[in-house]
């Protein structure tokens, strides 16, 4: 018998990156997640967070978490299905459903788990899932957990999507699954065309709106609202760990679908519920967003300012209209080395490598918050320009 651990010795990628001094992961924060952080003893401008609305440091949100700790203690000690449902979970679900103009919301312990729980429950043995190739990893793992058959189409290629739809037998169900805002490139799904094709072939549509909630749409209601297609998208999935400054995830859908998932989703039934503090902070952040829709406009404005500033400095970015502004670096070693130089110069960004990008299309993912100021992003962009110019010499 082969030792199951033998393959570990063949994994040398991380070791080689460490030896080259360009290993980019697990840098330790010593301060709040904010526009500036202390990371490993030094000030860094944070351009690598999904804290789009900047609410992790909002005093109303923090206070809600403290009060939840005091009232409910540290945890729920069980699943939502049994002893782990708080009144506050129901409040969060009801208010989020109202905000998203859907009949019901089901919450999960994490965003990743939400996709596992939704897809594995909805898609049965004789069903098909059709996925954009740039969908989030949790979607692919959710597809693996189901008993259905997965087909993939090239990113935002509607002709390829239609070819996939044509392969689905007439006696099989089909769910088209797409990110709303794609997490690495920052571009938006072609949702009008997707919904049109779904209607033509009798498929259902699910949108992962983890990076859409709080970012696009009226008051931050997400991708379906942005396109005026709330009644055409059957399931929204999203997270609390980004715009809502907490931890957890959700499904927004019809009562019919929600009731089925609650009683058939193994990741939902067999996982402990969202902790009291996480639930309270997500609810407080949602209420803050509803009271202050102008922060979504501010987020859009600072993102536009950055895209314009990058172009003026000759920094080549991947086109987007969201707070995710990727900078092309193309090759793996160059990407890691540039990220290291930026980190040492005081700017934190995320290097994105295959399989998260196609080979030869590596990038540095920068992302922005409504609380970023023009002055601080100017400082960051000047550093990026200097580092990239020095690397070309």
Which residue out of 89, 211, 340, 372 is catalytically annotated? 211
Same domain membership, residue 191 and residue 76: yes
- Distance of alpha carbon 149 from alpha carbon 91, whole angstroms: 36
Same domain membership, residue 270 and residue 301: no
Check which CATH number belongs to the domain holding 158 and give it: 3.40.640.10
What confidence tens digit (pLDDT) does each residue in 13-70 have?
A: 899 999 999 999 999 999 999 999 999 999 999 999 999 999 999 999 999 999 999 9
Tokens of 152: 């993939």
What confidence tens digit (pLDDT) does each residue in 292-351 have?
A: 999 999 999 999 999 999 999 999 998 889 999 999 999 999 999 999 999 999 999 999
Tokens of 13: 């990628």
Helix pair angle (332-345, 374-392), 10° resolution: 130
Same domain membership, residue 303 and residue 245: no
Q: Annotated catalytic, 79? A: no
The per-residue pLDDT for 263 is 97
> Residue 253's closest CA among 76, 73, 119?
119
Number of domains in the chain: 2
- Distance of alpha carbon 23 from alpha carbon 41, whole angstroms: 18
Which residue out of 89, 136, 155, 242 is catalytically annotated? 242
Confidence of residue 358 (pLDDT cuts 50, 70, 90): confident
Among 267, 291, 315, the domain boundary falls at: 291
Check which CATH number belongs to the domain holding 32 and give it: 3.90.1150.10
Bridge partner list, 44: 37
Same domain membership, residue 315 and residue 271: no
Expressed as residue numbers, the domain containing 298 is 6-52+293-392
Q: Annotated catalytic, 136? A: no
Task: Give the position of tokens 């996480």.
Answer: 278
Residue 112 falls inside a structural domain: yes
Share above pLDDT 70 across residues of the chain, in percent, rounded to a whole number: 100
Which residue out of 120, 183, 271, 273 is catalytically annotated? 183
Q: Annotated catalytic, 340? A: no
Tokens of 226: 């942005």
């Amino acid at each position: 018998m082969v030792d199951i651990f033998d393959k570990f010795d063949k994994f040398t990628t991380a070791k080689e990156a460490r030896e080259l001094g360009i290993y980019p992961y697990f840098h330790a924060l010593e301060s709040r997640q904010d526009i500036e952080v202390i990371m490993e003893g030094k000030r860094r401008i944070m351009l690598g967070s999904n804290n789009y609305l900047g609410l992790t440091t909002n005093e109303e949100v923090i206070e809600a978490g403290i009060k939840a700790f005091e009232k409910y203690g540290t945890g729920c000690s069980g699943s939502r299905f049994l002893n782990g449902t708080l009144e506050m979970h129901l409040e969060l679900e009801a208010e989020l459903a109202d905000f998203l103009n859907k009949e019901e919301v089901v919450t999960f312990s994490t965003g990743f788990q939400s996709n596992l729980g939704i897809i594995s429950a909805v898609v049965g043995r004789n069903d098909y899932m059709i996925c954009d190739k740039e969908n989030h990893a949790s979607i692919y793992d959710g597809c693996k957990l189901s008993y259905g058959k997965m087909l993939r189409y090239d990113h935002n290629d509607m002709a390829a999507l239609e070819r996939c739809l044509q392969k689905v037998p007439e006696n099989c169900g089909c769910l088209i699954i797409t990110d709303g805002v794609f997490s690495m490139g920052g571009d938006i799904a072609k949702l009008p065309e997707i919904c049109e094709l779904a209607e033509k072939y009798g498929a259902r549509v699910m949108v992962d709106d983890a990076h859409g909630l709080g970012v696009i749409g009226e008051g931050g209601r997400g991708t379906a609202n942005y396109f005026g297609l709330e009644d055409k998208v059957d399931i929204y999935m999203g997270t609390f760990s980004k715009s809502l400054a907490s931890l957890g995830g959700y499904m927004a859908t019809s009562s019919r679908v929600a009731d089925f998932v609650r009683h058939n989703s193994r990741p939902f039934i067999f996982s402990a519920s969202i902790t009291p503090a996480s639930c309270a902070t997500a609810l407080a952040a949602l209420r803050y967003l509803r009271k202050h829709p102008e922060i979504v406009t501010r987020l859009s404005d600072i993102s536009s300012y950055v895209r314009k500033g990058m172009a003026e400095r000759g920094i080549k970015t991947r086109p987007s209209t969201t707070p995710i502004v990727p900078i092309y670096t193309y090759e793996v070693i160059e990407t890691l080395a540039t990220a290291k130089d930026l980190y040492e110069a005081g700017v934190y960004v995320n290097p994105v490598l295959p399989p998260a990008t196609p080979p030869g299309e590596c990038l540095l993912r920068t992302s922005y918050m409504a609380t970023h100021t023009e002055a601080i992003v100017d400082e960051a962009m000047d550093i990026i320009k200097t580092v990239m110019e020095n690397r070309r010499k």
